[in-house]
């Protein structure tokens, strides 16, 4: 890959750090697995009118599965990553748990809910108590590490230009078709360029004018329609989730459960009912732009991650 955290230059940066610290450096080739579990899933989600989160898939299949297994082969006791999160033993649950980091704004537990709870005792998050990246960069500077001033990686690593729709269009065989833009009432008010170009909550780029601002409410794959409406219509208080992963057994969740539907969303109290392999989730307050394909992640009142799943 040419950019992001998986690039050749990043691998060389890591090697230079290891050389400086006098520790072994290994480069592992997970190209095929990354394509299968992350890139192909990303494309498939857009084809199914879902909005994927490739970082969650990468953590689940690459970092905390394949990489962890390789670490075991190398007789390593732990695997460590730079996520802002905590692993600790909970007397309440009588097990190791994943907990929100000290810095709320940087907490990344949302991306980690899908890992196997059995490996939690063997995970280290060295940044768990840091509240500012400047602190971390200062440590790197003091130790003369060349990565101290390296810019943060923001984009999806396999789409360096951030043009998701073009990437998907180039990598699928199915032709992207234009279709109707309709109000929730069913009234046709325009044409869309293909549903892969849109996501729930989107306002800009609709290419239509109307008497009030309109937002994407739903991608109707069956009829190839883009359903739009007012911002008020974006708010819903219920969702269903599947592809579940429990870091704490569901029977032990307790009465007070909180959830978030995207990384930057605020926690909201919820009622959760388990129905075979799905969860019905009812929010105490309506949530803006609940989106298929994104994840809903659950926490207890102490910031411990209970589990999560994919929004249906």
Pairing mode, strands 225-229 and 179-183: parallel
Set 45, 49, 55, 157: catalytic member: 157
Residue 49 annotated among the catalytic residues of the structure? no
Set 45, 49, 55, 58: catalytic member: 58
CA distance 18 to 30: 20
Helix, strand, coil percentages (3-state) for the chain, rounded to 5, are 30, 25, 40
For 96, the enclosing helix (H) or strand (E) is strand 95-100
CA distance 200 to 101: 29
Identify which of 231, 218, 236, 232 has the alpha carbon closest to the alpha carbon of residue 181: 218
Q: DSSP letters along 20-37, please? A: HHT--------HHHHIII
CA distance 16 to 172: 38
Alpha-carbon separation of residue 156 from 28, 135, 199, 240, 252 (angstroms): 20, 25, 17, 27, 35
Residue 58 annotated among the catalytic residues of the structure? yes
DSSP 3-state assignment of 222? coil
Which residues are designated catalytic?
58, 157
């Amino acid at each position: 890959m040419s950019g992001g955290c998986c690039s050749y230059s990043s691998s060389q940066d890591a090697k230079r750090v290891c050389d400086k610290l006098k520790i072994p450096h290994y480069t592992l080739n997970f190209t095929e697995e990354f394509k299968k579990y992350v890139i192909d899933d990303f494309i498939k989600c857009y084809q199914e009118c879902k909005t994927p989160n490739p970082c969650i898939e990468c953590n689940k299949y690459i970092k905390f599965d394949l990489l962890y297994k390789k670490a075991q082969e190398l007789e390593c006791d732990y695997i460590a990553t730079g996520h802002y999160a905590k692993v600790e033993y909970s007397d309440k649950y009588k097990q190791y748990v994943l907990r929100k980091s000290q810095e709320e704004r940087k907490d990344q537990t949302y991306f980690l809910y899908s890992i196997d709870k059995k490996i939690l005792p063997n995970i280290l998050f060295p940044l768990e108590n840091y509240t500012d990246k400047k602190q971390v960069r200062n440590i790197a500077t003091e130790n003369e590490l060349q990565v101290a001033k390296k810019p943060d990686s923001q984009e999806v690593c396999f789409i360096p230009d951030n043009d998701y729709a073009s990437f998907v269009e180039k990598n699928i065989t199915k032709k992207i078709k234009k279709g109707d833009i309709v109000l929730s009432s069913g009234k046709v008010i325009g044409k869309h360029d293909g549903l892969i170009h849109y996501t729930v909550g989107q306002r800009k780029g609709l290419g239509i004018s109307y008497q009030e601002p309109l937002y994407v409410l739903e991608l109707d794959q069956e009829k190839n329609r883009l359903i739009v409406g007012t911002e008020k219509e974006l708010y819903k208080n219920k969702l269903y989730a599947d592809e579940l992963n429990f870091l704490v057994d569901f029977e032990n969740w307790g009465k007070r459960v909180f959830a978030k539907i995207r990384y930057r969303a605020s926690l909201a109290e919820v009622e959760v009912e388990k129905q075979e392999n799905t969860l019905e989730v009812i929010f105490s307050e309506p949530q803006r732009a609940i989106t298929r394909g994104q994840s809903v992640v659950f926490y207890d009142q102490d910031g411990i991650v209970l589990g999560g799943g994919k929004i249906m």
